[in-house]
Amino acid sequence: MLTKHRGEFYLVMGALVFSFNGVISTIVLDHISPFRLAQVRSIGAFFILLAITLVIDRHSLKAPKKLIPMLAAYGIIGFAAVQAGYFLGIQRGVPLSLVLIVEFTAPIWIALWIKYVRKSFVPASMWGAIALSLLGLILLAQVWNGLSFDLIGLLGALFSAFALTAYFLIGKNFGTNRSALSLTVWGLGMASLAWVSSMPVWEFPFEVFTTDMDLQGVFAGNTLPGWVLILWIITMGTIVPYLFVIGGLRLLSASTSSVIGMLEPVLAGVFAWIWLQQSWNGIQLVGAAIVLVGIYIADRARSVAA
């Protein structure tokens, strides 16, 4: 029971820190492209975490050759591809709300994989929890306001959903054989290789580090240099939440972990409400409540076979 609650705590904390990072990222994205931000985020987090790991637990980084392909898939799919599909959807003009809904269909694909590929039992209440959570996200995002159905953009969002599905399933397969620290270093390292291969580092807009960025919202008129905000994104927006999520994934099922992950857009909306003064209406408040109910039901219905 204590292990279960610890896993829940890790995942909730991961969603909390990830969602707050959305506000900081919104500020920085006014000055840099989404793909370049994802690149510096992965590379910076990798080198910082690698240095820490080499000091406190270097032996955990060792991996047999047969495990390298899975670690590569874990990093490239779970750390780079999720962001790539998400950003592609936004860049093609698909509303953020719709991209978000498509991405968070991941629990459905996980449940289908568990039931029809693994041939494992999925409780009926889990399906109900997934349906409730998706309904809540639809109400929260209000996708009926200005939809755009660019095919490539929607395919990008769907690609992000499949990548997120693989991230949870592959991460769960590692079980307790590797520490959360080791998995995060490997994942970020593989993602960094993918970003460096696709976008040359020497073409990076380094001037962003010295640009004074307005903090917007309730702090409008106040500025911080870009390097401060980007450092926050690298540490508190990447290293810390990934450690929490991976730690929780090792203690709970993939299906339950993915549904708890639906807290992220709810919490992101709360932080945007407080900081960026993006207020919610009654429908969005109902949607947030429905998501929380769905997460509670999913947690109660967690399947040991997952």
Residue 77 has φ and ψ, to the nearest 5°, of: -75, -50
Cα separations in angstroms, 153 against 88, 96, 103, 109? 6, 11, 12, 20
CA angle in degrees (0–180, nearest 5) for 74-292-181 = 30
pTM of the model: 0.79
CA–CA gap between residue 179 and residue 267 (Å, rounded): 27
The most confident of the ranges 160-164, 276-280, 295-299 is 160-164
Among 15-24, 167-176, 227-236, 240-249, whose mean pLDDT is lowest? Answer: 167-176
Crossing angle of helices 124-141/282-300, nearest 10°? 160
Please say whether the beta carbons of 180 and 243 come within 8 A: yes
Q: Report the pLDDT value the prediction gives residue 213, as an integer from 0 to 100.
A: 96
Cα separations in angstroms, 23 against 29, 106, 265, 278? 10, 23, 12, 11
Q: Where are the domains of the chain?
A: 2-300
Q: Report the pLDDT value the prediction gives residue 139, as an integer from 0 to 100.
A: 83
Please say whether the beta carbons of 166 and 17 come within 8 A: no
Helix or strand or coil: residue 262?
A: coil
Per residue in 23-79, pLDDT tens? 888 888 889 888 898 899 999 999 999 999 999 888 888 888 888 888 899 899 988
Is the predicted pLDDT of residue 191 greater than 80, yes or no? Answer: yes
Per residue in 121-172, pLDDT tens? 778 888 888 888 888 878 877 767 765 567 788 788 889 889 988 888 887 7
Residue 225 has φ and ψ, to the nearest 5°, of: -65, 150
Q: Report the pLDDT value the prediction gives residue 304, as an integer from 0 to 100.
A: 41
Q: Report the pLDDT value the prediction gives residue 257, as an integer from 0 to 100.
A: 77
Q: Select the more confidently predicted residue: 203 or 155.
A: 203
With a CB cutoff of 8 Å and minimum separation 6, the contacts of 152 are 88, 92
